[in-house]
Structure 1
Amino acid sequence: MTREAGRPLRADAQRNRDKILSVAVRMFADEGLNVHFERIAKEAGVGTGTLYRNFPTREVLIEAAYRNELAKLCDAAPELLATMPPYEALRAWMDRFIDYASAKLGMADALRALVESGVNPYAQSHEMMLAALASLLEAGVRAGVIRSDISAADMFAALTGIALTSGKPEEREQAERLLDLTMDGLSIHHR
């Protein structure tokens, strides 16, 4: 992650930034749009100056928090494929998709306010998720464990449906069952 063109953040600065973004997602979800910057900074264990230096406005913080959640989701695909078989990697990514959707749902008011201010936090998000999902599906097809007739767009629609109906934390058990059912439908062994 870079701050200015080509100038990477120091490791401690990147850790602080990551802590701020993680806390911001949770606090916007739990307490809404008007959570005070001072509380976010305190919860993240940084000074308010550090928070304002990284995120000078509420809109910048909301957009960065959302984009960070999106990046964590999309970056997980190659990481999962590098550490587990394709079938398990896809299932693990689906769990992360529900986590992402929960965070996005929790931040709905903050994201809506951002859109109303003229910022589109969702630019390229659909394409990024489809690319991550396609890489997971393709790995499963190559390994002979996932059906080849399911597109990333179809899979994304299915996951979005699960997230919309079961994306709240208290609905996680149902989401897990629906994800398992989806995996059964994708599996070559269940045809």
Structure 2
Amino acid sequence: MTTAKPLRADAQRNRARLLEAAEAVFAGSGAGASTEEVARVAGVGIGTVFRHFPTKEALLEAVYVGRLERFAAEAEELTSSVDPVAALLGFFTRTVQQAATKNALAEALSAAGVSTEHANSTAGTALRTALTTLLDRAQRAGGVRSDIGIGDLVGLMIGASHAVSGKDDAARDRIIAVVVDGLSARR
């Protein structure tokens, strides 16, 4: 069995720039944006794109997984927050606010025949684990309804993410506020 050689430092920088550029390009122009545009924004040649990501679908999947990994890392970091209620509700709000890009990437992956379940596996598990801790801490602090389970919370995040898709900022924020209010414990 062979193991992949670690990337040289310049190759690591190029890969990171490509992922950053791809996320910006896909967020601004949708998942239909070209790999040539990604290369241009990253300041590299198209050959560099395909050296790191042999297909556009591989690039989309890497961007999608990268977003999930960042969400999981943020949620994990928040598990030790002094104010667990603000940590959970703030994370919920930020995640839903950024949903349009994630949904577009997921739809593009599905259209290309790439399973988002596979892409979700590792990062999704870490995210769910951190969310479970955040929810438990917020409930013990008395700021979130005690009858909400992790499945409910994830369902609300997904549902709210779809509900805000295509809405203007005011409508998006109003929808999020209604859901957050519904999560909050009644005093």
Q: Give the structure-2-normalised TM-score.
A: 0.78
CA deviations over 1:30-57 (Å, ceiling 9, x no partner): 4455533222111123343432222122
Cα displacement (A) at 1:165: 1.5
Change (3 A) 1:34 1:156: closer
Count of matched residue pairs? 182
Q: Percent identity?
A: 35
Taking the aligned partners of 1:17 and 1:84, their CA distance within structure 2 comes to 36
2:183 to 176, 186, 190: 186
Residue 149 (structure 1) aligns with: 147
Cα displacement (A) at 1:86: 1.0
CA contact (8 A) 2:97 2:172 kept: no
Q: Give structure 2 stretches of 5+ with no counterpart.
A: none
Taking the aligned partners of 2:92 and 2:5, their CA distance within structure 1 comes to 33
Residue 116 (structure 2) aligns with: 121
CA contact (8 A) 2:144 2:184 kept: yes
Change (3 A) 1:16 1:142: farther
CA deviations over 1:80-128 (Å, ceiling 9, x no partner): 334552111112211332244211233355223332xxx3133226544
Residue 36 (structure 1) aligns with: 34
2:22 to 13, 21, 24: 24
Q: Give structure 1 stretches of 5+ with no counterpart.
A: none
1:112 to 110, 113, 126: 110
Taking the aligned partners of 2:51 and 2:137, their CA distance within structure 1 comes to 41
Residue 172 (structure 2) aligns with: 175
Q: Give the structure-1-normalised TM-score.
A: 0.76
Taking the aligned partners of 1:85 and 1:99, their CA distance within structure 2 comes to 21
Residue 69 (structure 1) aligns with: 67
Change (3 A) 1:106 1:120: closer
Taking the aligned partners of 1:62 and 1:48, their CA distance within structure 2 comes to 15
Residue 55 (structure 2) aligns with: 57
CA contact (8 A) 1:41 1:47 kept: yes
CA contact (8 A) 1:77 1:135 kept: no
Taking the aligned partners of 1:36 and 1:18, their CA distance within structure 2 comes to 18
**Corresponding residue SS for 2:112:** helix
